[in-house]
Structure 1
Amino acid sequence: MEEALTRPSNRILPSLGIVLVAGGFIVLSWLGYLWLGPTQSPYQYKLVEEGGVDKFNKLGLNAWSDLSISKHEIVVEGVDQPLAVGYLARRANARPVMLDWENRSGEPVVFVDGKLSELTTLASAIAKHVPKNATILAWWDTSRQIKLLTGYETVFVSHLGEPHIVPSVWRNKSAAIEKYEREFWGGPASAEESQKFKRFTDALVAEPKEGAAILRELTGGREAYVAVHLSDLYKLGLMRPDRLGAAYKDFPLQGGNVHGLSGLIKRWSLENNHAAYSVHGLSENLVRAYFLTDDKSGNTLLTKMLPFTTSNPLEFQELKLVYQYGGYWVYKIPSA
């Protein structure tokens, strides 16, 4: 389902409702939502299982044997199946970090779907090739993951919770959701860190030269790198719809027919008058295509850093591309 990222000021994701697929049948259930009062969060993080990395072998975290892992489901009262499943990690008594997230409702809820194998490969590459005294800039959730897995200094260390990704039917519960999220993840970030993150989004939606200058400002002239992911386009579009017009649609990859899928995505883009697109494989059977809905959105720092049909990261001059894997693109921020 395509989600046009034109957002109301309260930053609640538009939706026609959450559709759960179970046993081949589509199940719609909002009884739990209807029973809740306005001060209650419509969902909860339910702890399912916890232990060391050896208990969760499929996650591929053997290189980080000191981590504690917990599996959580996001559940709604009255709905039989979880809306999403996530794996949190922490070291000792530190606050938990979301490492892997799988949405099961047909659209992103709370977090965007990730590929943990891409993240661990990125972390290993940073640890191997980036100087230990360097600073890393990335979206706040990616920053926390990188810091946990590499120990490197990141500009953002807190769970900032922006943007709020929930269905529109929960719009009147935004205050309750924000309160629940703060309590679960360990309190709000400092005003200084929140302001720096706003400045980071300013950089990403700015024209490339101006945006690169803001990144240098945020890192204080130190040796620094910025890591972006294709899904950042979705999140940035939710936060800054006035500066970035974006949309996405998931396409099934049937029988590995890449050429047929490419034609289908191109045709969809033309039929919807989109200006450009890029793709990211969510799994062996599913590809997510991200679209720019107007020409001006193609001249932002973020879109120039990503491989859209109207951009080429290898030729980007304002930052220096140093690494790419999966949906991640890493650039060195040059000194002024």
Structure 2
Amino acid sequence: MLKNLKQAFLVLFSGVLLMAGSTLLYKQYKLNSLKQDAEAPLMVKHSQEKTSDLQGVFPVEVNNRYTFQKNGKDAFSLFIANYKNQNAQTSNAILFPAGEHDSLNPNTTALRQSIWLETAKLIQTHTPENALILSWWDDGQRINFLSGREGWLNKPSTETFKSNLWKKLQGNLLLAPSSEKDRLNQMARWLTMDSDKALAEIRSTFGSKRPIYFVVNNDLLMRVGEMADYGGTPLLFSTKALQARDDLHGDINQIRRWANEEGDGNYLVQKEGSYYRAWTTQKNSDAEDNTLLVRLLPFVDSLKKLPENVDLVYQSRWGGYLSIYKIEFKSASS
């Protein structure tokens, strides 16, 4: 009898070990798959799509679709719309294709586009026509095409195309002339420098004749290398992809622990499908924490207090993916 019980226990224990081992192997397989996908080269297919699908304020002349693939599978797509702006000048806008998405199977490309459409309507209805809107260059394109407002910066220059992704789009993007390239250099400096110094330069550059707004989104954290190529200060972040589980509080605690181990505890997290992408600023360094970019993005410490003369007027869903700020400098007498 005792012998039979021991045998049964060994069989049961072996089964538990086998199940645990299978779970670990599956998780390792998933992580390896994510790593392989990240390291796989990007391939691209180019086609022309219907112009009527785009919801801008200007008629589209040509709509180019770029479908990026990894390991033979479609990863994401981008549109480049060619149109004439309010000044009858030929212009481009990089847009995210619309599509169906839900909480279980989110299409994050379509989600970005829906947020941009919501943002454009808000800009149209809550900003004056003479508003000056500051942003990175491709956000400036979307602002102009979707809302009709002027984006101060809306063209790339040659430094952008050091990136393999942007290089594949170069043939259909208008380049900034030398006068506008200076704007790229200025914006790169402002976003990556101390926020107080950046705002002082913005005030000196634009004064107070026009209402000034600043648009940022979390994707800018993937553009800090490009900003450095335009003369911005190189910024260092620790970043990690973490598998999402069914335990939201457990996920948050896991991210918080990682941010304190790898950085100084100031973190931003963006959910992308079945995983979280997290960024944290470096330990023992205020350089990143005090930059205009970090102060305007929804890092946990940035949410506590905004820079002086800056007011948050809109923050989108999806974890505050996109934010609009109004910059209003007080007069010397006030």
- Same fold? TM cut 0.5: yes
Normalised by the size of structure 2, how large is the TM-score? 0.69
Q: How many residues align?
A: 275
Aligned match of 2:251 in 236, 261, 266? Answer: 261
Residue 206 in 1 paired to residue 193 in 2? yes
In the other structure, the counterpart of 2:277 is 288
In the other structure, the counterpart of 2:222 is 234
Q: CA shift at 1:97, angstroms?
A: 1.8
Work out whether residues 71 and 88 of structure 1, in 8 Å CA contact, stay in contact via their aligned partners in 2. Answer: yes
| Distance change in 2, residues 1:232/1:63 (3 Å) | closer
1:29-48 CA deviation, whole Å, 9 max, x = no partner? 77xxxxxxxxxxx855521x
Structure 2 letter corresponding to 1:327 = Y
In the other structure, the counterpart of 1:118 is 115
Equivalent positions of 1:179-258 (< 5 A) are: 181-186=169-174, 188-221=175-208, 222-236=210-224, 239-240=227-228, 242-255=233-246, 257-258=247-248
Residue 151 in 1 paired to residue 151 in 2? no
Provide the aligned C-alpha RMSD in A.
Answer: 3.7
Aligned match of 2:94 in 89, 92, 98? Answer: 98
Q: CA shift at 1:190, angstroms?
A: 1.0
Work out whether residues 86 and 100 of structure 1, in 8 Å CA contact, stay in contact via their aligned partners in 2. Answer: yes
Work out whether residues 249 and 288 of structure 1, in 8 Å CA contact, stay in contact via their aligned partners in 2. Answer: yes
Based on CA coordinates, which of the two structures has the bigger radius of gyration?
Answer: 2
SS at match of 1:312: helix
Work out whether residues 88 and 96 of structure 1, in 8 Å CA contact, stay in contact via their aligned partners in 2. Answer: yes
Q: CA shift at 1:310, angstroms?
A: 2.2
| Distance change in 2, residues 1:132/1:91 (3 Å) | same
More helix by share: 2
Q: CA shift at 1:234, angstroms?
A: 2.9
Q: CA shift at 1:148, angstroms?
A: 0.5
Aligned match of 1:334 in 317, 328, 331? Answer: 328
SS at match of 2:223: helix
- Distance in 2 of aligned mates of 1:27 and 1:319: 37
SS at match of 2:289: helix
Structure 2 letter corresponding to 1:301 = L
Q: Which runs of 5+ in 1 are unaligned?
A: 1-18, 31-41, 55-60, 103-111, 171-176
SS at match of 1:278: strand
In the other structure, the counterpart of 2:51 is 52
Structure 2 letter corresponding to 1:124 = K
- Distance in 2 of aligned mates of 1:329 and 1:85: 23
- Distance in 1 of aligned mates of 2:38 and 2:125: 47
Aligned match of 1:85 in 73, 77, 88? Answer: 77
1:182-240 CA deviation, whole Å, 9 max, x = no partner? 43313x21111111121112112222221112223443542211111122233125533
In the other structure, the counterpart of 1:37 is none
Residue 271 in 1 paired to residue 222 in 2? no
Q: CA shift at 1:323, angstroms?
A: 1.6
Q: Which runs of 5+ in 2 are unaligned?
A: 1-30, 99-107
In the other structure, the counterpart of 1:71 is 65
Work out whether residues 237 and 246 of structure 1, in 8 Å CA contact, stay in contact via their aligned partners in 2. Answer: no
Structure 1 letter corresponding to 2:96 = D
Work out whether residues 73 and 86 of structure 1, in 8 Å CA contact, stay in contact via their aligned partners in 2. Answer: yes
Q: CA shift at 1:250, angstroms?
A: 2.7
More divergent stretch after superposition (272-281 vs 224-233): 272-281
- Distance in 2 of aligned mates of 1:246 and 1:229: 16
Structure 1 letter corresponding to 2:49 = E
